[in-house]
Amino acid sequence: MRAETAYHDEMGEKFAAQATESAYNAYTDRPATLTLAGDVSGLRILDLGCGAGHYAADLLRLGAGQVVGVDGSEALLRAARERLGDGAVLHHHDLEEPLAFLADQSFDLAVMALVYHHIDARGQLLAEIRRVLRPGAALVVSTTHPTADWTYFGGSYFADERVKLPFGDEFEISYWQMTLEKFLGELLGAGFMLEELTEPRATPEARLVDPRRYDKTHRQPTFLAVRLRCP
């Protein structure tokens, strides 16, 4: 993730706090991602863009053998260390760069939750993920839903450009707007095989936290999540 797109300093601290109980993060994307991950008992899992460690904590709770997290934001990694303690191995690393510190065919599962659309060097990253996954391993990816971006930003659905989304009153999140064709095309073009696709809706718990966003996720798509298989 480029330096200017990682969630640094106060922005990272704000996101770490929000992601803990937000309708979108905690009760929409995270449950869907964990469901697609399936039975993780004993697996060695790579959490790319691990953020504040929410997904890693849940994966460990569900029985993962080891979780290795990678993120470009030291602010988010501080929050992850506080959440996980010694429960996971965490690396401060820019996902725009190769994962040279990870060994070939050393993971059973990779998770990349709401990170892919931030990356410029997506082809390189996908090649690196294939390198570190064992044959037959799975990759779970979630992203913003293409139609949600189109509805929000307007213009052409087929626009291929970086957009900026306000985050709170002080910050902006920068990421790539991409079509469904482009998102799936890049993943399949990298050699992964699609096993499952879902358009997550918020779980019932979200209704207590944020009724408006709960209802919104049940009326229009917000996120897109897929499970793929490494040959």
Question: Which amino acid is present at 82?
Answer: E
CA 148 to chain centre: 17
| Confidence (pLDDT) at 27 | 96
Q: What is the pLDDT of residue 70?
A: 98
For residue 6, give the amino acid letter: A
Domain edges within the chain: 9-144+191-229
Residue 11: the pLDDT is 67
3-class DSSP assignment, residue 43: coil
Digit-by-digit pLDDT tens for the chain (231 residues) are: 444 556 765 665 777 777 888 999 999 999 999 999 999 999 999 999 999 999 999 999 999 999 999 999 999 999 999 999 999 999 999 999 999 999 999 999 999 999 999 999 999 999 999 999 999 999 999 999 999 999 999 999 999 999 998 887 788 889 999 999 999 999 999 999 999 999 999 999 999 999 999 999 999 999 999 999 999
CA 131 to each of CA 63, 108, 198, 217: distance values in angstroms, whole numbers, following the listed order: 24, 12, 26, 35
Separation of alpha carbons 135 and 147, rounded Å:
33
Backbone angles phi and psi of 189, in degrees to 5: -65, -25
Q: What is the pLDDT of residue 67?
A: 98
Gyration radius from the chain CA atoms: 16
- Which residue stretches of the chain are H helix? 9-21, 30-37, 54-61, 74-84, 122-132, 146-153, 180-189, 205-209, 211-217
CATH superfamily of 9-144+191-229: Vaccinia Virus protein VP39 (3.40.50.150)
Encoding tokens for residue 19? 């992601």
pTM of the model: 0.94
What pLDDT is stored for residue 17 in this prediction? 74
